[in-house]
Amino acid sequence: TQPNNWRIEKRMVLTRHAIRFSSDCYREGRYVLPANVASEEERQTFISEQSQLHTIYEKMLYLQVPMPKAGQVNKSVLDFVDQLASDFEWIGSTSQDLRGFREVLDRASQRTFNSPSISRHLFLALCQLGEYNEAEHALRSYLHLVGLISHGWEETHTHGEALAVDQNGISMAVSAPRPDILDEDVRGDHDSIGNIKDVEGEETLHMLQVLIAAIKMYCNELVKSVDAVEMAEIAKELYQKNRRSISPEIAASLYRAVGVAYGLLGGQTFDPEVRPTYHKKALSYLKQSLDMDNQSWETYYQLALQQAEMHDIGHAIQSVTRALQTNPSHLPSWHLLTLIVSCPVQGDFKQALKTCEIGLQQIELKDDHDESEQFMLFQMTRTWLLYALNGADSALASSETLFSSFGKISVIPEASQSGCHDMVLSGSFGNLSDLKKNRERSSSSASNASRSNDISSLRSGRTRSTSNLAAKVSAGLLSVQENKPHHHHHGLHLFGSRSTSKNKDSPQGSNASNPSLAEPYDTKANNSTSSFQSMSTSITSFQSLLQPSYIPTKPTARAVLRRQRSERILSDLWLLTAQLFMKLGKLDEAKKAVEEAEHVDWTHNPMVWCVLGQLLLASQEDLEEVQAAFDKALVIDPYHVTSRLELAKSYLLQKNDQMAEGLLDTLTKSNGWDCAEAW
């Protein structure tokens, strides 16, 4: 308790020290619970106490602190935000807490001018929240403020040659890489990135933290390889200019991120001359990361993925084994090892199935959406292995259990307005009739197919990915290839959520809850006892500053992406069932399964129409109708490997060797370079 006649400055000092003391005690295990409070309630008690202290301090802070003049820094506001951000990892546990924290940052930004630290906290909070579109804007703002990019860079960095294609089939310009900076080149400050002139003196470590988080966002979530590599190049140059002040652990994490970014770019680059250079760079940076920290299982896992992508199977087995020795509960590593053992170079399906079973026993599923996705994909790989060893009947029995498991990932709480599709009993092929019968095809339509060999994206090493290799294995197990979406989710294991006080009794009135309306304060009024007594009345009806004043009904970008992946997995489950029915000669059952897949995801999954074309071909339907299905798959994904391959085979059946050769030639020169059947 504090006497009512204390001035606000004195109360603020005591509250600030109380916040720091309480935080330090909890982190160091010295936190003392109030009397009659059970030890099991320690964390909740700390959250309640710390949230209340931060709420009280924020109220006093904005009563006391005026708007800064040009060139000035409200250090007390920045210190408050930094302390809250530090405590947030302990007191924030839900997406609503993250939204409340974001509103705190919004209020703080109104008392500071273009603060890099506020922008940094905002970007990291938006990433955690899953608001990736807003996070991109916050990222650009931060990089401008600290001088890492300029307006000139924004205008010219997309002027490079369009060598890569994103997951939507849009060509992307790849900017030239920055040259490496050797130790002897480093002399004092460097200006080539930009002059870091902010008066707050943003630390290099914080800038690297933001850049690594940005690489993760672009690789794992948004699958934008060009943007990921741009952030990687900026981060690499920044590190090389300040390497003496950066720890080996941070440097290793940075180079791992750079390697993953280049691996993703290699997967999205279809130029046969340029693509190998990106893969080699990815391999080089991952090895440099291991040189700095040879105990990191994340780096061994990413190195194994890159080596498998480059068909260096022997070294890939060694790398993924090292990853599993350090972290035997990492599901994507088990999935990767299973796929490597079953690939054509090894071809040991029995050992692959045994590895799969061991991996499934090692995994203890948590209440985590991403891990549930991985588990489903691993189970689908197991089904294909059962088909290879025991036939379609055994695999079909296994696939039935997958639908019940799907419920673990089909509920996405964030997407309040959009649930996943139910598994329905009827579908429609009506969309197929919309295709024009008179199609004009040329060999140019066969340009640049995408390496679509995913079962789906494996999350939590949202990988570059084990899922890419999964389809290659299934392609070897079935003559009906099970190549999956071409979304190369290159994964990272690099990183292990406005005032709500609207009390009318507050002297601030609406300004207390809406600082944007606040006018500069009168110092005498702020220091008066009556002013604080009036304010303290509002605190008695406590409302945490982490309680947001507004909860949007629109789902976050993360929720939308999760829903899309869930729909893709369900659609692929139906297609898996359809292909097994086709192997058994049960074409009517296969047609029903394809109808279900179409109902779930007919607009985004090219395999729906590819499998339909295969089914129509097996049913001896007219080749024009078969080709219409393959064409529709290529409308969804112009670079879908399996659809281009099947379309070429249909031309061979028509004795149209010229069209088939054009398709296959383009396919093998682009993302189908590793498709043995195309060669």
pLDDT band at 425 (very low <50, low <70, confident <90, very high): very low
Q: What percentage of the chain reaches a pLDDT higher than 70?
A: 72
CB-based contact 466:335 (threshold 8 Å) = yes
The pLDDT score that the predictor gives to residue 169 is 63
- The C-alpha atoms of residue 311 and residue 358 are separated, in whole angstroms, by 24
Q: Which of 117-126, 143-152, 359-368 has the lowest mean pLDDT?
A: 359-368
pLDDT bucket at 438, cuts 50 / 70 / 90: very low
- Per-residue pLDDT of 490-534, as tens digits, reads 333 333 333 333 344 443 333 333 433 333 333 333 444 444 444
List C-alpha distances in Å: 655 to 366, 428, 493, 649: 54, 32, 49, 10
Q: For 146-175, what is the mean pLDDT?
A: 70
What are residue 466's phi and psi, to 5 degrees? -55, -35
Low-confidence winner among 41-55, 533-547, 615-629 (lowest mean pLDDT):
533-547
The amino acid at residue 28 is E
Quote the pLDDT of residue 183.
59
Asked if residue 375 lies in contact with residue 363, where contact means CB atoms within 8 angstroms, the answer is yes
Supply the pLDDT for residue 524: 38
pLDDT score, position 171: 67
Nearest to 385 by CA among 406, 429, 355: 355
- The widest CA-to-CA distance across the chain, in whole angstroms, is 97
- Judge whether residue 592 has pLDDT over 90: yes
The region of weakest confidence among 251-260, 271-280, 362-371, 638-647 is 362-371
Report pLDDT digits (tens) over 548-579: 888 888 999 999 999 999 999 999 999 999 99
In this model, does residue 472 exceed pLDDT 80? no
Residue 480 DSSP code: S
- Please give the pLDDT value at position 184: 45
According to the model, what pLDDT value does residue 442 have?
36
Most confident of 252-266, 270-284, 608-622: 252-266
Residue 279 has pLDDT above 60, yes or no: yes
In sequence order, which residues have a C-beta less than 8 Å from that of residue 168 and are 6 or more positions away? none
Of the two residues 421 and 8, the one the predictor is more confident about is 8
Residues contacting residue 604 through CB under 8 Å, at least 6 positions apart = 485, 564, 567, 568, 636
Q: What mean pLDDT is reported for the chain?
A: 79
Residue in the block written with tokens 């049913």: 619
Tell me which of 37 and 257 has the higher pLDDT: 257
pLDDT computed for residue 155 by the predictor:
65
Distance, first Cα to last Cα, the chain? 80
Q: What is the mean pLDDT of residues 368-373?
A: 84
| pLDDT mean over 184-196 | 45
| Look-up of token digits 């000139």 | 152
Closest CA to 585 of 419, 433, 409, 393: 393
Estimate the crossing angle of helix 204-216 against helix 116-129, to 10 degrees: 30
Burial class (CB in 10 A: 0-12, 13-18, 19+), 404: exposed
pLDDT in tens, 110-133: 888 889 999 999 999 999 999 999
Tokens standing for residue 652: 């061979």
Helix (H, G, I), strand (E, B) or coil at 630: helix
| 638 φψ region: left (φ > 0), alpha (ψ -120 to 50), beta (else) | alpha
Angle between helices 275-292 and 297-309 (to 10 degrees): 160
| 582 pLDDT more than 50 | yes
Reported confidence tier of residue 676, pLDDT bands at 50, 70, 90: confident
**pLDDT, average across residues 646-652:** 92
Q: Is 674 helix (H, G, I), strand (E, B) or coil?
A: coil
- Number of Cβ atoms within 10 Å of the Cβ of 187: 7
In tens, the pLDDT along 75-114 reads 999 999 999 999 999 998 789 999 999 999 999 998 888 8
Confidence of residue 411 (pLDDT cuts 50, 70, 90): low
pLDDT tens string 5-35: 578 888 899 999 999 999 999 999 999 888 8
Calculate mean pLDDT across residues 392-416: 73
54-82 per-residue burial string, b: 16 or more CB within 10 A, e: under 16: bbbbbbbbbbbbbeeeeeebbeebbebbe
What is the reported pLDDT for 517? 32
